[in-house]
């Protein structure tokens, strides 16, 4: 509903109104909707939709009855919106809306955006609410696969899936608080726990658009691997079945016996998978075997199948914190915590930019401005020390931030590599602080150890960054990992260029300061490298900020 004009919408009183000729509706009703300006005010553009109150899903269909207007398709619904067909000034627009009732009808409202000029517009103005006064529509039967007597009817599965959210069950969805009964893009799961005489039992429900399967899991962290998961799979026969499995991360999950699962129902209609089932199985992760009174992160994933077998998921999301499914609440998907974003950003800046520049300066640019001394030291040395000091400081801050957030060593190889990088990064300046003089006969030992330690840290840091990106980049295309690969390739190419130039220079018996050309070439290489390095860095930082 927001025009892409690059400016903010007006927040003051609007000179426009949205009204309808009825206060109630039922299936098939034709309702006249009028967009009207007050006084002499006009508008050039507009967008009109009908929505359930509190929802972004468009409902029904429009026909245009007056004015320069055209019909649009929003949310894959034909004629579900009306917009302007020209920018001529208007004072009123009238359209007719034909009601189309969802399986769980709710109060609706008409929303309109009015554009007075390119930089002046009001967004999503609302009409008075219309309540539903018809009879609930019939629900068609669904295909059912069961391992025990079915106790829930098809209407309960479809119409009541969000009933009790936050009151009697945990509801987890993307977007937050979406209703899969009316929103075809909603991914939803719920869990409610009862305590029969022979042990606790959980009722699980899932619904969402998918080409092959929906799944959810219990996890000790927010990434896939070592998780207890349930999968609702659409078979080649068109029936939906429940599977139990143990997630191994990026490999296909290991199947588990279905165990004490009953009351299984499943359906596939219009590209949307639905399923529900009860389970008395304990929750099993790598760390423990527990009941429903232990907090876990909830993971949700969905994707396609190949001949009835699940393949890599299309998308996934996780809860923002650990929760008990025995404590009713409504949960949304998580944004990457700011601590993780800060940690990743600092490590990228430290080991892909400041450390890279510091190492290049020390190895290849000692001859530049060698005669220029500041504070008793050569310019190249001051640049090297400054850049590497920033690297160590950023590494220390990043380590403290992530360890304070995580509080443990979970994450596989990544935390181990990160700790090694941090430890060796502190050893490097300490060794330099106690080095022998430049004319000492053992100075070559320090030079070699200093260089080798720097190389080891750099390799470990790159490996740590790759494993860190793999922890949260669960997408199939893994854009972050690919950009990081380009980042490393760019740096390796310039190390090769510097090394070739250095060897050619020495082979020709050229002194580092023999000519201005000998200084211009490495300086040009450094500038070009820095610009490319900055481009890769910014691309990764933007992706992390938006994760």
Q: What is the pLDDT of residues 420-452, one digit of tens each?
A: 999 999 998 888 888 888 788 888 888 899 889
- Distance, in Å, from the CA atom of 326 to the CA atom of 285, rounded to the nearest integer, reads 18
Q: Which band of pLDDT confidence, cut at 50, 70 and 90, is reported for residue 198? A: low
Mean pLDDT of 33-49: 90
Mean pLDDT of 37-46: 89
**pLDDT one-digit tens code per residue, 42-68:** 999 999 999 887 777 788 899 987 678
Q: Which band of pLDDT confidence, cut at 50, 70 and 90, is reported for residue 367? A: low
pLDDT of residue 362: 85
Highest mean pLDDT among 74-78, 152-156, 164-168: 164-168
Mean pLDDT of 243-267: 85
What is the rounded (10 degree) CA torsion for 249, 255, 260, 263? 90
**pLDDT one-digit tens code per residue, 83-95:** 998 888 999 999 9
Are 178 and 194 in contact, with CB atoms under 8 Å apart? no
More confident residue, 405 or 129: 129
Mean pLDDT of 472-491: 81
pLDDT of residue 39: 80
Residue 212: alpha-carbon gap to chain centroid = 21
Q: 515 pLDDT exceeds 80? A: no
User: CA 479 → CA 64, 474, 492, 547, distances in Å?
Assistant: 44, 10, 20, 12
CATH topology of domain 16-132: Immunoglobulin-like (2.60.40)
pLDDT of residue 363: 82
More confident residue, 369 or 75: 75
pLDDT of residue 423: 94
Average pLDDT, the chain: 82
pLDDT of residue 154: 39
Q: What token pair was written down for 421?
A: 């990088």
Q: Which band of pLDDT confidence, cut at 50, 70 and 90, is reported for residue 513? A: very low
Query: CATH 1.20.120 spans which residues of the chain?
Result: 338-546
Look at the chain and count its residues: 547
pLDDT of residue 152: 33
Q: Which band of pLDDT confidence, cut at 50, 70 and 90, is reported for residue 498? A: confident
Query: CATH 2.60.40.4060 spans which residues of the chain?
Result: 16-132
154-332 classified as CATH 1.10.3720.10:
no
Q: Which band of pLDDT confidence, cut at 50, 70 and 90, is reported for residue 528? A: very high
Are 547 and 336 in contact, with CB atoms under 8 Å apart? yes
- Distance, in Å, from the CA atom of 136 to the CA atom of 516, rounded to the nearest integer, reads 85
Burial track 182-209 (b if 16+ CB lie within 10 A, e otherwise): bbeebbbbbbbbeeeeeeebbbbbbbbb
pLDDT of residue 472: 67
Mean pLDDT of 382-388: 90
- Distance, in Å, from the CA atom of 82 to the CA atom of 353, rounded to the nearest integer, reads 51
Q: Which band of pLDDT confidence, cut at 50, 70 and 90, is reported for residue 107? A: confident
Mean pLDDT of 144-150: 34
The neighbouring-strand residues paired with 289 are 284
Are 351 and 465 in contact, with CB atoms under 8 Å apart? yes
Q: Which band of pLDDT confidence, cut at 50, 70 and 90, is reported for residue 31? A: very high
Q: Which band of pLDDT confidence, cut at 50, 70 and 90, is reported for residue 465? A: very high
pLDDT of residue 129: 85
Q: Which band of pLDDT confidence, cut at 50, 70 and 90, is reported for residue 514? A: very low
Mean pLDDT of 259-288: 85
Query: CATH 2.60.40.1210 spans which residues of the chain?
Result: 154-332
How many other CB atoms are there within 10 angstroms of residue 445's CB atom? 12
Q: 163 pLDDT exceeds 80? A: no
pLDDT of residue 536: 92
* Residue whose structure tokens are 């109060």: 107
Are 94 and 134 in contact, with CB atoms under 8 Å apart? no
Q: What backbone phi and psi angles, to 5 degrees, belong to 109?
A: -150, 155
Q: Which band of pLDDT confidence, cut at 50, 70 and 90, is reported for residue 547? A: low
pLDDT of residue 76: 66
Q: 16 pLDDT exceeds 80? A: yes
Percent of the chain clearing pLDDT 70 (strictly above): 84
More confident residue, 475 or 223: 223
Nearest Cα to 359, choosing from 139, 547, 529, 482? Answer: 529
Q: 10 pLDDT exceeds 60? A: yes
Q: Which band of pLDDT confidence, cut at 50, 70 and 90, is reported for residue 141? A: very low
Lowest mean pLDDT across 283-287, 300-304, 414-418: 283-287
pLDDT of residue 335: 58
**pLDDT one-digit tens code per residue, 321-354:** 888 898 888 886 655 667 888 999 999 999 999 9
CATH topology of domain 338-546: 1.20.120
Q: Which band of pLDDT confidence, cut at 50, 70 and 90, is reported for residue 182? A: confident
More confident residue, 374 or 217: 217
- Distance, in Å, from the CA atom of 179 to the CA atom of 160, rounded to the nearest integer, reads 10
SS3 content of the chain, % helix, strand, coil (to 5): 30, 30, 35
User: Which residues neighbour 132 within 8 Å (Cβ) at sequence distance 6 or greater?
Assistant: 24, 25, 26, 101, 105, 106, 107, 108
């Amino acid at each position: 509903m927001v025009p892409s004009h690059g400016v903010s919408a007006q927040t003051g009183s609007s000179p426009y109104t949205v009204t309808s000729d009825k206060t109630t509706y039922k299936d098939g009703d034709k309702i006249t909707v009028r967009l009207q300006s007050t006084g002499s005010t006009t508008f050039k553009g507009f967008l009109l939709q009908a929505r359930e109150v509190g929802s972004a899903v468009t409902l029904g269909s429009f026909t245009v009855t007056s004015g320069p207007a055209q019909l649009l398709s929003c949310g894959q619904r034909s004629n579900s919106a009306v917009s302007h067909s020209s920018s001529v000034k208007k004072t009123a627009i009238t359209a007719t809306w034909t009601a189309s009732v969802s399986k769980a009808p709710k109060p609706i409202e008409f929303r309109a955006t009015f554009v007075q000029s390119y930089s002046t517009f009001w967004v999503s103005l609302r009409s008075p609410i219309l309540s539903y006064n018809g009879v609930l529509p019939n629900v068609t039967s669904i295909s059912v696969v069961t391992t025990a007597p079915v106790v829930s009817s098809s209407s309960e599965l479809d119409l009541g899936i969000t009933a009790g959210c936050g009151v009697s069950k945990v509801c987890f969805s993307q977007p937050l608080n979406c209703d899969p009964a009316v929103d075809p893009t909603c991914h939803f799961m719920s869990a409610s726990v009862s305590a029969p005489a022979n042990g606790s039992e959980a009722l699980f429900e899932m619904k969402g658009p998918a080409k092959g399967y929906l799944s959810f899991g219990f996890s000790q962290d927010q990434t896939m691997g070592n998780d207890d998961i349930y999968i609702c799979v659409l078979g080649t026969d068109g029936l939906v079945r429940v599977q139990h499995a143990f997630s191994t991360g990026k490999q296909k999950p290991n199947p588990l016996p279905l165990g004490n699962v009953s009351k299984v129902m499943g359906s596939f209609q219009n590209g949307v998978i639905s399923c529900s089932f009860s389970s008395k199985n304990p929750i099993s992760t790598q760390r423990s075997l527990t009941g429903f009174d232990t907090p876990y992160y909830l993971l949700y994933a969905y994707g396609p199948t190949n001949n009835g077998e699940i393949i890599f998921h299309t998308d996934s999301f996780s809860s923002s914190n650990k929760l008990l499914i025995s404590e009713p609440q409504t949960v949304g998907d998580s944004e990457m915590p700011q601590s993780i974003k800060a940690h990743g950003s600092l490590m990228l800046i430290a080991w892909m930019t400041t450390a890279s520049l510091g190492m290049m300066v020390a190895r290849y640019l000692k001859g530049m401005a060698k005669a220029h001394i500041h504070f008793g030291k050569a310019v190249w040395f001051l640049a090297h020390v400054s850049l590497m000091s920033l690297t160590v400081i950023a590494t220390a801050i990043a380590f403290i931030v992530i360890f304070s957030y995580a509080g443990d060593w979970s994450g596989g190889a990544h935390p181990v590599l990160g700790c090694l990088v941090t430890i060796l990064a502190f050893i490097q300046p300490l060794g330099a602080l106690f080095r022998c003089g430049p004319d000492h006969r053992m100075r070559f030992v320090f030079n070699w150890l200093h260089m080798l330690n720097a190389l080891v840290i750099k390799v470990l840091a790159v490996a740590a960054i790759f494993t860190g990106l793999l922890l949260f980049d669960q997408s199939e295309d893994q854009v972050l990992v690919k950009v990081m690969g380009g980042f490393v390739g760019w740096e390796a190419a310039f190390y090769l260029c510097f090394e070739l130039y250095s060897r050619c220079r020495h082979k020709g018996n050229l002194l580092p300061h023999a000519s201005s050309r000998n200084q211009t070439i490495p300086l040009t290489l450094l500038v070009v490298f820095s610009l490319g390095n900055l481009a890769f860095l910014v691309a990764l930082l933007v992706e992390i900020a938006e994760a």
